[in-house]
Amino acid sequence: MPRRIFVTGLGIITGIGNNLAETKDSLFHLRTGIGKIQFLETNLRDEIPVSEVKCSLEECFHLAGIPVTEGYSRNALLGIIAAKEAYGDAQFGDFPGLRTGLISATTVGGMDRCELYYEDFLTNDSRNIYIDSYDCADSTEKIADVLGIKDYLTTISTACSSSANAIQLGARMIRNGDLDRVVAGGTETLTKFHLNGFNALKILDKEPCKPFDEKRNGINLGEGAAYIVLESGESVKQSGKPVICELTGWGNSCEAFHQTASSPDGIGAYLAMKKAIDMSGLNIGDIDYINAHGTGTDNNDISEGKAIERLFGSEVPPVSSTKPYTGHTTSAAGATEAIISILCLLEQVIWPNLNFSEPMKELHFTPVQELLKGKKVINVMTNSFGFGGNDTSLIFSNYEP
Amino acid sequence: MPAFINGIGLISPQKTVETTDFLQEIMEYDSGYLKCIEPPSYKPYIDPIQSRRMSRLIKMGIASAKMCLNESGCTMPDAIITGTGLGSVEDTEKILGTIHLDQPFLNPTPFMQSTYNTISSQIAIQLKCHNYNSTYVHRTFSFESCLQDALLQIAEGTAQEVLAGGIDEMTLNHIAITRRAGHWKNEPVKNLEMLKWNSPGSMAGEGSGFFLLSAGKTDKTYACIRDVKTLYKPANPDEIKLQVTSMLSASGLNVSEIDLVLLGINGDNRNDHIYYEFAKSIFPGTPLSYYKHLCGEYHTSSAFALWLAANILKRQTVPYILRLNNVHREPVRNILIYNQYYNVNHSFILVSE
């Protein structure tokens, strides 16, 4: 019997809330975080809506408990805020003999400071403290230092599936006995760098995004950080912490199709979901909800929708994309949506796919359009797909001792 | 669970491409930047129509992966995993050049290639490989995390053959910027005289090394990776020692059975003492070697060290250019690679015949 993987802590900050309670409140009240750009300095401010964390840089320092004089990127600060909530939530004491790891995901890293100070980097010494904080490892190490985690740390970047892969690696290392508990997730701040990058690819919607809608027109980017705490049974026994739910399945597959586009039949998505279900030992009919990657691009939603239909046939469970709430938080999306899916288990609800009006011609199913309360939700699947065709699916299940 | 190295492809500042020589001719550099010697043509490795749009790092990554696969005979790995500290610096700089002036950029190609997973996914695209695919981006843990994942895949039984690579590039621009943060020597240093300079900073390097790791041996096998460990911010040298001794004993080895220690000494007088103290306290009387005078300092330089270790074990020869002390031992059965970055990121790779 393989080792079980228990979830014992959740922490999240996105455009719909600075913590788990606010996030839940926004989800219940159908409140979106998407709107006009407030904090990012960019010429695209009036043109492209995004979902920003509703905090200035200074407020982020404050929430993270870091003095504003320190050379921290917004990316590291968001990561610290969410990771602290998750880790605090898990009420860790010091249990000697248990090995704890931090596996974090990001792709823009400290680019938010780097793009601002790049001219200085090239010409003078005034911003030298930010030079080393531009890479991906910087936020991970700063989070680890705040949490006091030393036994293992690494950083994953597989574009928009990064934090789902971080969660997956955490689970694998616990299962193999390498670690007893892992804080896993990701952080991603909005930058001019990737806002312009997605804009150059012409996949940003200038209106609120409409995943799985016939008239969908692209992505709304978002920012945020989300972390979950994973523990082995032995670790839970020692700490006596309440178990929130169980991570029962994971699957990673590569589209091997195109650097930024998904294949028409969604082979990567199909294989990732199938691997996750096979690992969980569940049947197709046991999945009560799919939190889709559902970016709202023409390409993703056909590809993912076809893959879901291929796997689930005529029994497609309720599906929604919650990106119309949070925007696409890219590297943080996997962990963000893992937590949003876990909330479905805890609250016995299914979140709606906001902004939907017209079914896609290519698909037989339509996404959930209204908040469904009082549903029996036992197993949820969440999908995260990235540039390069890096596709990952996770399955969370209600905890039964 | 150990993994056998059944194929290698390495592009480095030394002559490691399309040759069976092992450090016969040593390349010298005096600019403080050890630059990769690329293949004379990428045609044997990448379709010219595709490679025209690719930046140098992407081409080096794919080509070295192909060299590795060709040597091993593997056509469809069960997993493709890469490590890179900085990803495509050249593509990132192209974008930053316009962004810092607050201008939009119109060509999306550098953006598409700037994501860190570009090489692992491009290899998958070329092979039509739908299997597990991931990328690690944690400074000098990047390649080590990649190897740990590969070993885990093999231990889980989900993979028999894993393609694992460490890739990093340097640009003159990036060297100039990171020089401000104190990473490089200010004086022009000859790479082979790296240890003669008692000054802060190192020499910039780069490389792309891929390894076909397998659960089973073949007639191509170089060596086997027994274990890979990382250690973050050790409180004191005893913690480093404990990590090494427990790692060795988990593999059933004691300190005296290590026949060669490959040290990541990089000429930085602020930190090299860590290596010397390490060697003195744990491995007195053991043959010691170093390698960064041949490849320079970069986040995935341990891939170069692993190539060295694999070749030393297979050929049973330790080139003189690597030797740090006058101790020699034959045969060479077990090699420990030790690298550290500013006393923050310490890593160990145990390689055996």
Catalytic site includes residue A364: no
Q: Which one of A55, A160, A245, A344 is the catalytic residue?
A: A160
Q: How much is the pLDDT for A384?
A: 98
Q: How much is the pLDDT for A259?
A: 81
Which of residues 161 through 180 in chain B touch A, CB cutoff 8 A?
Answer: 173, 176-178, 180
For residue A160, give both structure tokens: 């928009």
Asked if residue B50 and residue B196 are part of one domain, the reply reads yes
Nearest to A14 by CA among A148, A185, A140: A185
d(CA B190, CA B206): 16
Q: How much is the pLDDT for A387?
A: 87
Does CATH number 3.30.420.10 belong to domain A249-397? no
Q: Which of B194, B214, B234 is the last residue of a domain?
A: B214
Enclosing domain of residue B341: 223-352
Catalytic site includes residue A29: no
Best residue of B115, B242, B347 to probe chain A, by most A CBs closer than 10 Å: B115
- Residue boundaries of the structural domains of chain A: 5-239, 249-397
CA-based nearest distance A158→chain B, Å: 5
Beta bridge partners of B268: B199
Looking at the partner chain, which of B129, B137, B138 has a beta carbon nearest the beta carbon of A254?
B129
C-alpha dihedral over A287, A356, B108, B92, to 10 degrees?
Answer: -60
Whole-angstrom CA distances from B27 to A259, A319, B35, B172, B302 are 36, 59, 10, 19, 19
The reply to whether B137 touches chain A by the CB within 8 Å rule is yes
* CB spacing of A157 vs B130 below 8 angstroms: no
Q: What is the DSSP letter of A359?
A: B
Cβ count within 10 A of residue A285: 10
Find chain B residues with C-beta within 8 A of A157's C-beta: 87, 115-117, 135-137
Nearest to A230 by CA among A175, A295, A307, A276: A175
Asked if residue B247 and residue B110 are part of one domain, the reply reads no
Asked if residue B268 and residue B210 are part of one domain, the reply reads no
d(CA B165, CA B155): 19
First to last CA, chain A: 15
Looking at the partner chain, which of B85, B116, B129 has a beta carbon nearest the beta carbon of A107?
B116
Q: How much is the pLDDT for B260?
A: 98
CA-based nearest distance B13→chain A, Å: 24
Q: How much is the pLDDT for B99?
A: 84
Asked if residue B303 and residue B275 are part of one domain, the reply reads yes
DSSP A32-91: --EES--SS--TTTTT--EE--S--HHHHHHHHT--TTS---HHHHHHHHHHHHHHHHTT
Looking at the partner chain, which of A122, A131, A260 has a beta carbon nearest the beta carbon of B112?
A260
With b for 16 or more beta-carbon neighbours within 10 A and e for fewer, the B165-189 pattern comes to bbbbbbbeebbebbbbbbbbbeeeb
Asked if residue B231 and residue B159 are part of one domain, the reply reads no
Phi-psi region of B338 (alpha: psi -120 to 50; beta: other; left: phi over 0): beta
* CB spacing of B104 vs A159 below 8 angstroms: no
Whether the predicted pLDDT of A222 surpasses 90: yes
Best residue of B78, B88, B100, B171 to probe chain A, by most A CBs closer than 10 Å: B100
Q: How much is the pLDDT for B1?
A: 78
Q: What is the DSSP letter of B111?
A: H
Q: How much is the pLDDT for A89?
A: 63
Best residue of A187, A196, A204 to probe chain B, by most B CBs closer than 10 Å: A196
Strands A100-105 and A152-156: parallel
For residue A324, give both structure tokens: 């119309």
Which secondary structure element, helix H or strand E, spans residue B63, and what is its range? Answer: helix B56-72
Over residues B93-104, the mean pLDDT reads 83
d(CA A302, CA A385): 13
pLDDT-derived band at B79, boundaries 50, 70, 90: very high
The set of residues, in sequence order, having a beta carbon less than 8 Å from that of B122 and lying 6+ positions away, is: A259, A388, B54, B58, B61, B62
pLDDT-derived band at A1, boundaries 50, 70, 90: confident
Cβ count within 10 A of residue B281: 13
Q: Which amino acid is at A167?
A: I
pLDDT in tens, B200-226: 999 999 999 999 999 999 999 999 999
Q: How much is the pLDDT for A374?
A: 94
Q: How much is the pLDDT for A283?
A: 97
CB contact at 8 A, A321 and A291 = yes
- Percent of chain A past pLDDT 70, that is, above it, reads 99
d(CA B244, CA B265): 18
Beta bridge partners of B334: B352
The reply to whether B139 touches chain A by the CB within 8 Å rule is yes
Strands B334-341 and B345-352: antiparallel
Overall number of domains in chain B: 2
Find chain A residues with C-beta within 8 A of B116's C-beta: 107, 136, 157-159
Catalytic site includes residue A328: yes
Asked if residue B206 and residue B69 are part of one domain, the reply reads yes
With b for 16 or more beta-carbon neighbours within 10 A and e for fewer, the B283-305 pattern comes to beebbbbbbbbbbbbbbbbbbbb
Which of residues 4 through 33 in chain B touch A, CB cutoff 8 A?
Answer: none
Whole-angstrom CA distances from B44 to A284, B72, B266 are 45, 16, 34
First to last CA, chain B: 15
Q: How much is the pLDDT for B26?
A: 98
Cβ count within 10 A of residue A266: 27
pLDDT in tens, A113-133: 999 999 999 999 999 999 999
Helix (H, G, I), strand (E, B), or coil: what is residue A196? helix
- Percent of chain A past pLDDT 90, that is, above it, reads 91
* CB spacing of A388 vs B121 below 8 angstroms: yes
CATH (domain of B257): 3.40.47.10
- Percent of chain B past pLDDT 90, that is, above it, reads 95
Nearest CA in chain B to A42: B102
Q: Which of B149, B182, B214 is the last residue of a domain?
A: B214
Beta bridge partners of A266: none
CA-based nearest distance B279→chain A, Å: 23
Task: Tell me whether 0.85 is exceeded by the ipTM.
Answer: yes
pLDDT in tens, B230-247: 999 999 999 999 999 999
The reply to whether B108 touches chain A by the CB within 8 Å rule is yes
Q: How much is the pLDDT for A91?
A: 58
Which secondary structure element, helix H or strand E, spans residue B350, and what is its range? Answer: strand B345-352
pLDDT in tens, A240-264: 889 999 999 999 999 998 888 888 8
The set of residues, in sequence order, having a beta carbon less than 8 Å from that of B23 and lying 6+ positions away, is: B14, B294, B319, B321, B322
pLDDT in tens, A147-192: 999 999 999 999 999 999 999 999 999 999 999 999 999 999 999 9
CATH of segment(s) A5-239: 3.40.47.10
pLDDT-derived band at A90, boundaries 50, 70, 90: low
Counted across chains A and B, CB pairs separated by less than 8 A come out at 185
Over residues B10-22, the mean pLDDT reads 97
Looking at the partner chain, which of A41, A155, A197 has a beta carbon nearest the beta carbon of B108?
A197
Q: How much is the pLDDT for A335?
A: 98
Over residues A63-77, the mean pLDDT reads 95
Whole-angstrom CA distances from A396 to A151, A163, A182, A268, B153 are 26, 15, 16, 20, 22
Average pLDDT, chain B: 96
